[in-house]
A and B are shown apart, each in its own frame.
Chain A
Amino acid sequence: MNPPPSFLDLVWLARWPLLYGLGTTVAISLLAIAGGTVIGTLLGLALTYGNRFVRIVARAYTDFVRGTPVLVLVLASFYILGTIGLDLSAFQAGVLALTVFCSSHVGEITRGALQTLPKGQTEAAKAIGLTFGQTFRYVLGPQALRLSLPPLVNTGAEMVKASTLLSVIGVAELLLRTQEVISRTFQSLPFYLLAGLLYFTVNFAIERLGRLVERRLSAA
């Protein structure tokens, strides 16, 4: 004789799976962004300052990754790694795929930023006896970072959105948890809206944070 549970009751009942899903989504994104930024920065350096051979290899990697849909990267990583005997979990394979995806974007962003810096600066740095490492640390790096911050923030939001693709290989991030809740409650409409709202909130926060950092940097 009980009245059917309202949507809010259902959300309350499903709060732990959804929160765990959200946590997994954030973890996936953070790991992929961190890994992608490190590899991508190296890639950008290779694309700008590498010798011919290094440049060709880096260019081939970047173009191949950018020409392939992220979902294909995720599926390929998941299925291939198992076949060649690397026993990674779906989570690890998925994070690896997103890291590769992220690195190609960061690589292009870094290359673009480095190429806009005037050549004279590198020459001046060399003239006062800085090594290449020092030149990058003190002269080029900070300027390139400031230039590439807006697209980097964009890439961060892109990674959060791409993390949904890991649901396809069974990683229990927010979207898969939502789908599980829907299969129990049959309330697809409100729960998809809720998931959308949560993703929007995360990305909106990233965007705002990015703008804050930008303003700090430009004020300095």
Chain B
Amino acid sequence: MGYTLNFDAVWRNFDHLLWGLGLSLVLAFFAIGVGCALGLVLAFARTSRSRPLAALAGLYVTLLRNLPLLVLVLFSFFALPQLGLRLSKQSSFVLALALYSAAYLAEVFRGGLLGVPKGLREAGLAIGLTEGQIRRRIILPVMLRAVLPALGSTFIGLFKDTSLAAAIAVPELTFEARKINVETFRVIETWIVASGLYVATCSILAALLRRIEARLAVSR
């Protein structure tokens, strides 16, 4: 049986795909926002002098990095209500993705924190800044600039991971593509267009991030 490509049905539903793509990006943004905050706390905990605190943060990172994201997503949506925490599909997905990404971001930030030269802290102390000021005004900005590339690739990874929201029927790009696939039977066309959208978005994001990095680059 010959198969002739016919993209008409996919183009008719293209706006759905675009809305899905938009939702994917929004989910990734929220997830990396929450994930960064949590990851930063975890990184400070892991590099802190308090042994139990460092161990606890280390445990979180090891645990979350070795769990499949889909298990977290399903757990967050189906099991948390049993604990009395009822979230919408979108929020429970963002929660799962944020908890997951925090484990990776904690490692990124930890590496960044360890890379900040010790002299900076001493210099801050010498000019009379408090520990809090040193952390906020000196260490964080230096560290953030150093980890920007890793942060960028984490974001792109999260954007791709938003496809798992389809498993709990969040109408993001993969969910919409699957719907078009099932409704129109234009199987090959649907998946070519959907993965094309993902690949294109990832490339655009990567190019954007490179530009931001170039602008913030430290001249050495």
Residues of A within 8 A of B (CB): 63-64, 66-73, 75-76, 79-80, 82-85, 157, 160-165, 167-168, 175, 179, 182, 188-189, 192-193, 195-196, 199-200, 203-204, 207
Contacts and interface: CB of A to CB of B under 8 A. Distances in A.
A69 B74 contact: no
Contact of B66 (A168, A188, A199): A199
Contacts of A83: 3, 187-188
B195 A72 contact: yes
Contacts of A162: 68
B79 interface: yes
B67 A69 contact: no
B71 interface: yes
A164 B66 contact: no
Given A72-B163, A192-B79, A207-B66, A79 B71 contact: no
A200 B66 contact: yes
Categorize the interface residue count of chain B. Answer: 35 or more
Contacts of A161: 66-69
B191 A76 contact: yes
Contacts of B194: 72, 76
Per CB-CB distance, the 7 closest pairs between chain A and chain B, nearest first, are: A67-B199, A76-B191, A69-B163, A203-B66, A161-B68, A69-B160, A164-B68
B19 interface: no
Given A79-B187, A80-B191, A157-B66, A69 B161 contact: yes
Nearest to A206: B66
B108 interface: no
A200 B82 contact: no
A200 B74 contact: no
28 contacts: A63-B199, A67-B160, A67-B203, A68-B198, A69-B160, A69-B163, A69-B164, A69-B174, A69-B198, A71-B163, A71-B164, A71-B167, A75-B177, A76-B194, A79-B187, A80-B187, A84-B3, A84-B188, A161-B67, A161-B69, A162-B68, A167-B70, A188-B75, A192-B74, A192-B78, A196-B71, A199-B68, A200-B67
